Structure 1
């Protein structure tokens, strides 16, 4: 009734020799992909850079906004940023941010160390533990 799997479990586990994941770098001021001197889009070079860039992309994307992302990608609080003091508590924002980050396959644990709110902007200070390393980063999220 059930299929038989033949093979070694060791073949399914990623080896430390496998290349680090990468993503394209984004310029958050101009809202454009960063380009190198040759015109090619710039990719992250280290695992810490990859984790930081991924966190920025997740925390600046509203859930269900883009059909290319799954329902687990992005956050819900972006539409509430202008009404934070009356409509949404900081504990809820912190929890949503940590859950959204931990839903990513490479991020094992995300902790919001501190948050700062100014106008329509929230700045997160994060500690991220990925499957291949960890990093500390700062992420600005704002209403678009």
Structure 2
């Protein structure tokens, strides 16, 4: 009546190749998770896309703001929102951004290759080396 299973337990163990990590995609203009045509929330599909979305989330999250994140998640320079750009040192912001990104378990090295003020925001040019690959991206943060 029931199907007979053949083989041993070794077939049930996950393969040594780890699956690609994923995160939900975020629409930064509406500040909402992106939804597909069927209403389900969209996930990242590639490792580079995962690294980019993770970097955007980290650099747009103020540390200690949300209890769901650990004390290592987010950045401190967002506490300075509203100050004039001349009052903020780009070197300090760059260091804080690199440290915040490297605190993530998937990111081995993060380098801010370009940082600039652009109107009411700060733009980071990033080179990120994850445990499974690298990517280059640009992240807008600090909507004042």
So what's the TM-score if we normalise by structure 1? 0.85
Q: Which ranges in structure 1 are unaligned for 5 or more consecutive residues?
A: 1-13
In 2, distance between residues paired with 1:138 and 1:105? Answer: 21
Which digits, 9 at most, give the CA deviation of each residue in 1:70-122, with x for residues without a partner? 11000010122432534321110000000000000000000000012023300
Determine if the alignment matches structure 1 residue 20 to structure 2 residue 13: no
Checking the alignment, whether the CA contact within 8 Å between 1:79 and 1:143 is kept in structure 2 is no
Between structure 1 and structure 2, the one with the greater Rg is 2
Q: Find the counterpart in structure 2 of residue 116 from structure 1.
A: 116
Q: Find the counterpart in structure 2 of residue 95 from structure 1.
A: 95
In 1, distance between residues paired with 2:62 and 2:119? Answer: 19
Q: Find the counterpart in structure 2 of residue 59 from structure 1.
A: 59
So what's the TM-score if we normalise by structure 2? 0.85
Q: Give the root-mean-square deviation of aligned CA atoms.
A: 1.5
**4+ residue stretches of structure 1 with deviation over 6 A?**
none
Q: How does 1:1-144 map to 2 (within 5 A)?
A: 15=16, 17-143=17-143
Q: Which ranges in structure 2 are unaligned for 5 or more consecutive residues?
A: 1-14
In 2, distance between residues paired with 1:142 and 1:96? Answer: 13
Checking the alignment, whether the CA contact within 8 Å between 1:106 and 1:130 is kept in structure 2 is yes
Checking the alignment, whether the CA contact within 8 Å between 2:90 and 2:116 is kept in structure 1 is no
Matched length: 130
Checking the alignment, whether the CA contact within 8 Å between 2:85 and 2:117 is kept in structure 1 is no
